[in-house]
Amino acid sequence: MFKENCFIIAELSANHGGSLDIAKETIRAAKRAGADAIKLQTYTADTITLNVKNPHFKIKQGTAWDGQYLYDLYKGASLPWEWHKPLYDLAKVEGLVCFSSPFDTTAVDFLEELNTPIYKVASFEITDIPLIHYMASKQKPIIISTGIATIEDIELAINTCKKVGNNDITILKCTSAYPADPEDANLKTIPNIAERFGVKSGLSDHTMGIEAPMIAVALGAKVIEKHFILDKSIGGADAHFSLDEAEFKKMVDAVRLTEKLMGSVNYKMTDKKKRSREFSRSLFVTKDVKKGDVITKENIKSIRPGYGLHPKYYDDILGKTFSENIEKGTPLKLGFINN
């Protein structure tokens, strides 16, 4: 599913403004911005929480959503299930991969009907082992965010996938703060995830700006996920930390440039490199000399350009004699030296 280049996901989340038309245009904008995929979230308020108004269900975490009850937040943010098929169909037309994060087994069953190509486990669902087991059993590539996870949580989630024979696992470093502070990003975890757990790794980014994805790619991230919104004036639960089309395109361009800059381990002599070697040091005759003159520090020197003998021969030829008359400014050759 993933290409050689980093797989860039535009997360629609709650940024549909309650309008199918906005959701559709967001997919078109994601394509224009250079995304590889659009990700949805498949839940209803009833499949993700309870409609209970007691303190357990009231948000009080110092977030933009404080004071709301979970049920009310998710009711307003959820993507109607009847919109999924037209959005999947449009994404296919646009050449984007469309997939989703299901939040219960009924959502998995629904997404299977759409032949979803990938499953995403949201950060707060990493402890829902029965749900991960059910997702993984569908034998689709599975992406798991780790915003609240301990090492033990990550190990358990990975092992749950492997127990059902699903080894196509990508783990995303994630900070579950909206927006996330740079000092909490800890992007060095990305290569450690790949090494420690033997999986692909990437970043689900909630920081403001585009610097974190660039650094993540330089550290080996195979997947970048970033919240995407058509226009921030739409508002909604996730608008304040989402990128609009211009910002997302800037991020994609920066990621692709980073990939070019990283390149590969390469010591080969390219044509450009060979031409540049003309400006390197080499041995030149620095004054007119006659046949039989002794080679000294006064009549040869290591200088630019690089048309003469390699400077590594300098000490070896001192004290030997010239085999012919040579003018000042002539590149020194082995043929000019008596053995």
Question: Which pLDDT score, from 0 to 100, does residue 240 have?
Answer: 86
Question: Which pLDDT score, from 0 to 100, does residue 65 have?
Answer: 72
The tokens of 165 are what? 């024979």
- State pTM to two decimals: 0.87
Question: Which pLDDT score, from 0 to 100, does residue 179 have?
Answer: 86
| Tokens 């995929």 found at | 37
Question: Which pLDDT score, from 0 to 100, does residue 2 have?
Answer: 64
Angstrom distance (rounded) from CA 84 to CA 78: 11
Residue 129: helix, strand or coil by DSSP?
helix
| Pairing of β 321-322 and β 337-338 | antiparallel
Average pLDDT, integer, range 128-156: 97
Q: For 129, phi and psi rounded to 5 degrees?
A: -60, -40
Ramachandran region of residue 17, left (φ > 0), alpha (ψ -120 to 50) or beta? left
* The pLDDT of residue 243 is above 90: yes
DSSP symbol at 78: P
Q: What is the pLDDT of residues 21-50, one digit of tens each?
A: 999 999 999 999 999 999 999 999 999 999
| Pairing of β 37-42 and β 169-174 | unpaired
| Of 336, 288, 295, 289, residue with least CA distance to 314 | 295
Do the Cβ atoms of 252 and 34 come closer than 8 Å?
A: yes
Question: Which pLDDT score, from 0 to 100, does residue 288 have?
Answer: 97
Question: Which pLDDT score, from 0 to 100, does residue 215 have?
Answer: 97
- Amino acid letter, residue 206: H
Cβ neighbours around 29 below 10 Å, total: 22
Which domains are assigned to the chain?
A: 7-43+78-262 (3.20.20.70), 271-338 (3.90.1210.10)
Length of the chain: 339
The percentage of residues in the chain with a pLDDT greater than 70, rounded to a whole number, is 99
| Of 197, 56, 49, residue with least CA distance to 125 | 49
Question: Which pLDDT score, from 0 to 100, does residue 3 have?
Answer: 67
CA distances from 24 to 107, 151, 229 (A): 21, 38, 11
Question: Which pLDDT score, from 0 to 100, does residue 238 have?
Answer: 80
* The pLDDT of residue 169 is above 80: yes
End-to-end CA distance of the chain: 65
Rg of the chain taking only CA atoms, in angstroms: 30
Q: Is the peptide bond before 179 cis (omega within 30 degrees of 0)?
A: yes
